Amino acid sequence: MSVDPSAPVRSPGQPDQRRRGADWIEFVPGGIRRVVVDVGQIAQLFSRLVVGVVRNPRGFWGASFEEMYAMLRFAWIPVLLSTGGFSFAIGTFGYDLLRVVGAGNRVGTFFVMAGPREIAPYTVAMAIAGVMGTSLTADLGARKVREELDALEVLGVDPERTLVLPRVVAMTMMVFGFNLVGVAAVVVMAGVATTIIGSTSIASYIAGFFTIMNMTDLVGTVLKSILLGLMIGIVCAAKGLSVKGGAEGVGRAVNQAVVLCFAWVWIITFTFNSIMLGLNPNMAVTR
């Protein structure tokens, strides 16, 4: 048996330093333990990627652009269908509700709060997590169980920088880009629901929308989409890199990644909206 010369020398009665910090997790209940382990894996992967980018911000942009093009090919239809369909349904519901109280011409005002702030980031993030996030987890998980990641490390290639970092960057940028397209789709489909199917004039709808829409809403939806894209990429990559148990483990990891992404979308959305409304109280005022 070979001995690692870089390993610290330990006396027979001295506890292993590598195990001392991890022993406490064994006393945590199972449900809480899984949450702690998942959050820890996500935080560790995020920190390693950030350190790698800061130390060497070159060499991965070409692969990132290729991943962005692949995401554009496979995800634009689900993103447009989910964003357009959801906004059309909400637009019809909102118009019918406001028409009852005699304020059908205020649908544009309503959709500033419903579209760029909520519908577009939420539906884009959900669609990307379901289409591209699962693909990322399955690919990394399959490479993990086939020991391809170990083979890359033996060859001196960092699998996180080669396989994970370009996809996380691409997912962050594509969620940001799709969110801007989603905002436009929300405005168009809500306009169709209220002006073509409903009886509100196009001028009234547009005037109501731009009366309340401001730069704070635009900056907020951009920042939220970047956070959601980064979160989806990190979560899906972390679950793929921690796969155990062969092909069955890959399937479990994909399922867990989707559930975690959906949960984190809710958490980030709630936290971000609370902070934005707290810093900008005028965002909650209709004009």
pLDDT digits (tens, 9 = 90+) for 170-195: 999 999 999 999 888 888 888 887 78
**Range 124-140 average pLDDT:** 91
**pLDDT tens sequence across 84-97:** 888 888 878 777 77
- Residue 34's pLDDT is what? 74
DSSP the chain: ----TTSPP--TTSPPHHHHTTGGGGGS-HHHHHHHHHHHHHHHHHHHHHHHHHH---SSHHHHHHHHHHHHHHHHHHHHHHHHHHHHHHHHHHHHHHHHTT-GGGHHHHHHHHIIIIIHHHHHHHHHIIIIIHHHHHHHHHHHHTTHHHHHHHTT--HIIIIIHHHHHHHHHHHHHHHHHHHHHHHHHHHIIIIISSS--HHHHHHHHHHH--HHHHHHHHHHHHHHHHHHHHHHHHHHHT--SHHHHHHHHHHHHHHHHHHHHHHHHHHHHHHHHHH-GGGG---
pLDDT in tens, 24-45: 556 666 667 777 777 888 888 8
**pLDDT, position 238:** 92
How confident is the model over 118-126, as a mean pLDDT?
A: 88
Instruction: State mean pLDDT over 205-224.
Output: 81
Mean pLDDT confidence for 40-57:
88
